Amino acid sequence: MPDKTALITGVTGQDGSYLAELLLEKGYRVHGVVRRASVFTTQRIEHLYRDPHSGDVRLRLHYGDLLDAICLRRLLNEVRPTEIYNLAAQSHVRTSFDEPIHTAEVVAIGTLNLLEAARDYRDETGINVRFYQASSSEMYGKVIETPQTERTPFYPRSPYACAKVHAFWQTVNYREAYDLFACNGILFNHESPRRGETFVTRKVTRAAARIRFGLQDALYLGNLDARRDWGYAGDFVEAMWRMLQQRRPDDYVIATGQTHSVRELLDEAFGIVGLDWSKHVRIDPQYFRPTEVDLLLGDASKARSQLGWTPAVAFKQLVRMMMDADLNLARQERTLFDAGYREGNIRTAPVEQIALPRRSSAEALTAVT
Ligand code: NAP
Ligand code: G4F
């Protein structure tokens, strides 16, 4: 196959990890951008990582940040990608009300930084790089019509969604103004066992599993009536890749075409472990949003006909998959607990008694390839 090289921002996130997996399977060289943090953040890609000293390694990690435009430019010149996937974001909607400026800087200006860098990189190297922007169904917000398609007007309802609308239109504008091969994937909610623990699906499956193993008793949630079109992240990254393989760049809705409420999610997840969720779920107002998105339901007909994309995993299978993974984790946690392990042991145990973690990918981050 021709030499394909991808740069992924947000490689340590849920989607970044599935996309890196997919592209490596397809023979790509994959470069991931990782933010510096005081702890390791590479757990989701640990299984893909090999020490760069060990021969022909196709996954490389680089420190970088969407807010550092100069660093992005340098990275593109060093890595020389043929495809760029911009997945990095402050992606939590509730948090965006608490951190609106940071969210706008990363999601809106960060995307612009990368588009500018991509345009100059293309012009300077002659490499006709292709650009994927992680747009979101949150942009539909207070929905104007149902189901939502590529033609449905946006009505954003959070700082996050407003910033995504900015990034969406910048991506369209770079396509039209500078002829950049730039696509928006308007992705509806997609989940997996790797979903962050504070998003509602994972919060529910993790709690149901931990309650089942006696590790917690209550689950605090917000709006149980919200409805989402929930798909599987592993299916959705395939659509991202397909968009960049087309002859012409375009924007696509990616969704399952089914919608479920948080209540239905609770029924499904707690049902798997034979528990009645109403005995455990409490409402905590802190999880309500100042403005809510009540209903999302996507129509992915265009992706089906033009990309040949359809989702393989439906809602019930998705919840089952997430429950299986969280039950495994809860079982391990229970075993540790029964063996006397308590959180905090690590702080009080003498250093020589603390098992050293195996060498992590984060230790071997390189600034150059
Ligand atoms: P996620 O798990 O929250 O991952 C976000 C990634 O962005 C993480 O790797 C994070 O790094 C990185 N990041 C945050 N700020 C950054 C910065 N300033 N510079 C560089 N990297 C930064 O999100 P996800 O669910 O994988 O979603 C991927 C993308 O799709 C996001 O843009 C999200 O907004 C969008 N999206 C998601 C969904 C969904 O349902 N999952 C639907 C539509 C659109 P750390 O690990 O250091 O935090
Ligand atoms: O899981 P959520 O936080 O996802 P949300 O807000 O739909 O955003 C996710 O999907 C977007 C695509 O549409 C992405 F762009 C975005 O990055 C993110 O991945 O909340 C889902 C629903 C909301 O209506 C929320 O109000 O669940 C409701 N909910 C009820 N209780 C809760 C909770 N959400 C969270 N996170 N935590 C709760 O306790």
Residues 111-133 pLDDT 10s:
999 999 999 999 999 999 999 99
13 Cβ below 6 A of ligand 1: yes
Q: Is the dihedral of CA 75, 76, 81, 83 positive or negative?
A: positive
Helix (H) / strand (E) element for 17: namely: helix 14-25
Mean pLDDT for the stretch of residues 337-354? 62
Identity of the amino acid at 37: A
Pocket flag, ligand 1, residue 62 (CB < 6 Å): no
Could you tell me if the CB of 66 is within 6 A of ligand 1? yes
CA 32 to centroid of ligand 1, rounded, Å: 13
Q: What integer is the mean pLDDT of 55-79?
A: 96
The whole-angstrom separation of Cα 32 and Cα 84 is 10
Q: Among the listed ranges 248-252, 294-298, 358-362, 364-368, which one has the minimum average pLDDT value?
A: 364-368
Here the tokens at position 314 are 């439906």
189 lines ligand 1 (CB under 6 A): yes
> How far apart (Å, rounded) are the C-alpha atoms in residues 15 and 157?
23
The pLDDT of residue 53 is 86
- The answer on pLDDT for 105 being more than 50 is yes
Of 14-28, 49-63, 113-127, 169-183, the range with the lowest mean pLDDT is 49-63
Q: Is the pLDDT of residue 224 over 60?
A: yes
Q: Band the pLDDT of 29: cuts 50, 70, 90.
A: very high
What is the structure's pLDDT at 365?
37
For the Cβ of 226 lying below 6 angstroms from any atom of ligand 2, the answer is yes
200 lines ligand 2 (CB under 6 A): yes
For residue 325, how far is its CA from the centre of ligand 2 (angstroms)? 20
Looking at ligand 1, which atom is closest to the CA of residue 91?
34
pLDDT confidence of residue 123: 98
Instruction: Return the best residue to mutate from 87, 103, 201 for the ligand 1 pocket (most ligand atoms within 8 A of CB).
Output: 87
Ligand having the closest approach to the CA of 294: 2
Q: Which residues contact 26 (CB under 8 A, 6 or more apart)?
A: 1, 4, 241
Angle at 357 between CA 356 and CA 363, to 5 degrees: 115
pTM metric for this prediction: 0.94
Nearest residue (by CA) to ligand 2, atom 39, is 221
Band of pLDDT at residue 368, cut at 50, 70 and 90: very low
User: Is 14 near ligand 1, meaning CB less than 6 Å away?
Assistant: yes
Supply the DSSP symbol for 141: -
Output the pLDDT for position 95.
98
pLDDT 10s digits, 246-297: 999 999 999 999 999 999 999 999 999 999 999 999 999 999 999 999 999 9
Stated as kind and residue range, the H or E segment containing 34 is strand 29-34
**pLDDT per position as a tens digit, 133-153:** 999 999 999 999 999 999 999
Helix (H) or strand (E) holding 206: helix 200-212
Least confident interval from 51-60, 150-159, 228-237: 51-60
For the chain, percent helix, then strand, then coil, each to nearest 5? 45, 15, 40
Half-sphere exposure of 135 (CA within 13 A, CB side): 31
What percentage of residues in the chain have a pLDDT greater than 70? 92
Residues classed as catalytic: 136, 138, 160
Q: What is the pLDDT of residue 356?
A: 35
Of 302, 300, 182, the residue nearest 250 (C-alpha)? 182
Mean pLDDT of 63-81: 98
**Ligand 2 atom closest to Cα of 223?**
30
Residue 344 is predicted with a pLDDT of: 64
Distance 121 CA to ligand 2 centre (A): 36
Using an 8 Å Cβ cutoff, are 283 and 221 in contact? Answer: yes
Residue 359, pLDDT score: 35
Distance 90 CA to ligand 2 centre (A): 13
Give residue 224 CA to ligand 2 midpoint distance, Å: 11
Tally of residues, the chain: 369
Residue with tokens 């060093």: 78
Residue pair 58/30 in contact (Cβ under 8 Å)? The answer is yes
DSSP letter for each residue of 310-358: --S--HHHHHHHHHHHHHHHHHHHHHHHHTT--TTHHHHS-GGGSPPPP
At 345, is the pLDDT very low, low, confident or very high (cuts 50, 70, 90)? low
Q: Nearest CA to 42 among 69, 17, 6?
A: 17
The token pair at 309 is 């994309």
Q: How far apart are CA 228 and CA 103, in angstroms?
A: 22
CB of residue 106 inside a 6 A radius of ligand 1: yes
In sequence order, what are the residues at sequence separation of 6 or more whose Cβ sits closer than 8 angstroms to the Cβ of residue 105?
Answer: 67
d(CA 186, CA 148): 10
CB atoms within 10 A of CB 243: 24
Token duo for residue 162: 């407003």
Ligand 2 centre to CA of 173 (Å) is 29
